[in-house]
Amino acid sequence: MTANRSRREPTIALINIVFLMLIFFMAAATLAPPLDGDLRLVRTEDMEGRAPPDALVVHADGRLVYRGQPQPDAAAYVAALPEAARATLRLVPDAALPAADLLRLGEALRRAGAGRVVMVTQRGLP
């Protein structure tokens, strides 16, 4: 009798593993939907790396520049904007700018009257 018990196959364990793999692949497929087949991505080989003209550029040393003109501080920058442009402000930070400085600038822009502060960053597809 004991020899018969040791010969049984662990089918329940195998079913559990297959079920867990199925759940994993279903979750992985829903997290990252594929790009549309007809979509053609923009080619950036010859594109100049410039900030958008309507964005506030923040250099690594904390200098603020808007459309090529230096800005004294966040409050002066927001005050010079038309009311409609204050709803969403675009911010282009230097990669070497410390994160604490970036957070302080974002808070200063919000206190000065910015509705929403959006960071413009570089993103590459694999």
Q: Is 117 helix (H, G, I), strand (E, B) or coil?
A: strand
Cβ distance 91 to 105 under 8 Å?
A: yes
Q: Give me the residues paired with residue 116 across strands.
A: 88
Q: What's the rounded Cα separation, in Å, for the pair 112 and 77? A: 9
pLDDT tens digits, one per residue of 3-35: 555 666 778 888 889 999 998 888 776 655 555
Cβ distance 125 to 41 under 8 Å?
A: yes
pLDDT above 50 for 90: yes
* Residue 38, pLDDT score: 57
